[in-house]
Amino acid sequence: MADAANCLFCAIASGALGTEFIAESDRAVAFRDIQPQAPSHVLVVPRQHVAALRDLEPDDDVMAAELLRLAAEVARREGLLAGGYRVVINDGDDAGQTVHHLHLHVLGGRKLNEPLG
Ligand code: 5GP
Ligand code: ZN
């Protein structure tokens, strides 16, 4: 499991890979998923390395709230508010987490079926 020194999303969030941010805040950045599952599929990640939702600590509460607020801001910028959208966090193997840096998926632009997989 990647630590901060060897983590794809740490590299993206730092700007080192030149990824375009479609929104950002003090503690979080948002960028398009490389393999979109919907017309709009954006990832919202903390700038700070946190491996998974389960690893959030009380000191992270401001950052965690910022992730949610930025997800809604992304939905607004993507024009998803009228039709609706979904925010997903995968934590662990059964959920299909493949990148071990906390991220929120913002999905929209089509009818999303089977809300609980
Ligand atoms: P997970 O399955 O861990 O919840 O989601 C990881 C997401 O990261 C996947 O949807 C995958 O397509 C996306 N992803 C993996 N590598 C990259 C990358 O290098 N750049 C971007 N923008 N997204 C990536
Ligand atoms: Zn990381």
Tens of pLDDT, residues 10-24: 999 999 999 999 999
Residue 9 confidence (pLDDT) above 70: yes
> At residue 107, what are phi and psi to the nearest 5 degrees?
-125, 135
**For ligand 1, mutation pick of 33, 40, 41, 45 (most atoms within 8 Å of CB):** 33
Tell me what pLDDT residue 114 has.
76
Burial of residue 25 (CB within 10 Å: 0-12, 13-18, 19+) is middle
Tell me what pLDDT residue 1 has.
59
Tens of pLDDT, residues 57-112: 999 999 999 999 999 999 999 999 999 999 999 999 999 999 999 999 999 999 99
Q: Catalytic site residue 101? A: no
The band of 117, judged by pLDDT with boundaries at 50, 70 and 90, is low
Query: If you measure from the C-alpha of residue 82 to the centroid of ligand 1, how many angstroms do you get, rounded to a whole number?
Result: 26
Fold of 4-108: HIT family, subunit A (3.30.428)
Instruction: Report the atom number in ligand 1 closest to the C-alpha of 8.
Output: 19
Domain boundaries, the chain: 4-108
pTM for the whole structure = 0.96
Q: Is the CB of 89 under 6 A from ligand 1?
A: no
How far is residue 104's CA from residue 100's CA, in Å, rounded to a whole number?
A: 12
